[in-house]
Amino acid sequence: MKKALLLVVSLVILLAACGKDDEQKNLEQEIKSLERSTKDFQKDKASLEKENEKLKDSIKDKEDELDKLKSESDSSQSDTSKKDSSKSKETSSNDSSDKSAKKPLPNTIRTSTTGDVTLMNDLNNKQFQFEDRGMKVVVDHIQIFQVNNMPEGQVLLFNGAKDGYVVIYEVTTENTSKQKLYYDNTTSIVDGNHEQRSDYASFIPDSHNEKYMKKSKENTDEYQPGEQTKSLKSIPISVEAYKAIKDKRAKFNINGGVSHTSTFDNATSNVKSFNLDI
């Protein structure tokens, strides 16, 4: 009887010991699993911190680039003015109208092209006017800049050419009607079958970009009754197109296309053409 009792007690102790061993093994496995998870978390944390640092560096680079562009834009205007002043002095004995340097319209041509920029023509107070279905358009100042030594393919608008010209003009646009009108406010240089349309953003500082002047932020083609803007636009042209303008083979067109709907249903197709006497 005593032997049987001892056997039972031994069996209970053995089972308890086995259970503790299993529990210990399970705990050890869980600890190892948690340690692996901790290592993975630390790796992920380190990776995220690196990515965050990269993003901070990228933001800083973009901010530096923006500051540089603003600085170069101001420098470009100053450099162009100095060049014009120098040319004016050289030709003063032959042309009394060039006694004072022409002030270039605000632009970002040099920073956009990294080329050499020279103001070639200044057409001021010419009053190229056009009215279409209540939209009145007045272009009263046009300047043409020559751009040389651009890196090949630097500006897509020049189709990879290293030399070209940029026409920049000041335009006042007004909805003189009593109803909302839609108008894309464009001009173009037309040389035979080739047409180069104007752009509101290329080479234009934000302060003179019509997009930021509009009452409607959702639809920049929308003009409220009485709404008026005075902005700058640009037209990049080739060397050949510039020669065509000088030879009066190319025209400066103010385009119509006024509509009463945002989808431009029944838009007009009126166009008015002018010669640029340069």
Residues 62, 53: Cα–Cα separation, whole Å? 14
Rg (CA), the chain: 35
Q: Indicate if the alpha-carbon torsion angle 63, 67, 72, 74 is positive or negative.
A: positive
pLDDT (0 to 100) of residue 173: 97
Question: Would you say 99 and 122 are in contact if contact means Cβ atoms under 8 Å apart?
Answer: no
Question: Would you say 278 and 199 are in contact if contact means Cβ atoms under 8 Å apart?
Answer: no
Question: Would you say 187 and 255 are in contact if contact means Cβ atoms under 8 Å apart?
Answer: yes
Task: Tell me how far apart the 2 most distant CA atoms of the chain are, in Å.
Answer: 139
Q: Indicate if the alpha-carbon torsion angle 204, 207, 211, 213 is positive or negative.
A: negative
Residues 232, 221: Cα–Cα separation, whole Å? 15
Residue 246 CA: distances (Å) to CA of 87, 184, 225: 20, 28, 39
Residues 205, 72: Cα–Cα separation, whole Å? 12
DSSP 43-84: HHHHHHHHHHHHHHHHHHHHHHHHHHHHHHHHHHHHHHHHHH
Helix runs in the chain, H state only: 2-91, 109-113, 239-246
Q: Indicate if the alpha-carbon torsion angle 158, 245, 235, 146 is positive or negative.
A: positive
The residue type at 88: S
Query: Would you say the pTM of this structure is higher than 0.95?
Result: no
Residue with tokens 């070209």: 164
pLDDT (0 to 100) of residue 102: 79
Which H or E element spans position 219? none
Task: Return averaged pLDDT per consecutive 10 residues of the chain, 278 residues in all.
Answer: 55 56 70 70 67 64 65 59 52 43 90 95 92 96 96 79 96 97 97 93 95 90 96 96 96 97 95 95
Q: Which tens digit of pLDDT belongs to each residue from 158-214?
A: 888 999 999 999 999 999 999 999 999 999 999 999 999 999 999 999 999 999 999
Question: Would you say 77 and 208 are in contact if contact means Cβ atoms under 8 Å apart?
Answer: no
Question: Would you say 161 and 237 are in contact if contact means Cβ atoms under 8 Å apart?
Answer: no
Q: Indicate if the alpha-carbon torsion angle 177, 125, 229, 203 is positive or negative.
A: positive
pLDDT (0 to 100) of residue 218: 85
Residues 200, 99: Cα–Cα separation, whole Å? 32
pLDDT (0 to 100) of residue 106: 97
Question: Would you say 186 and 197 are in contact if contact means Cβ atoms under 8 Å apart?
Answer: yes
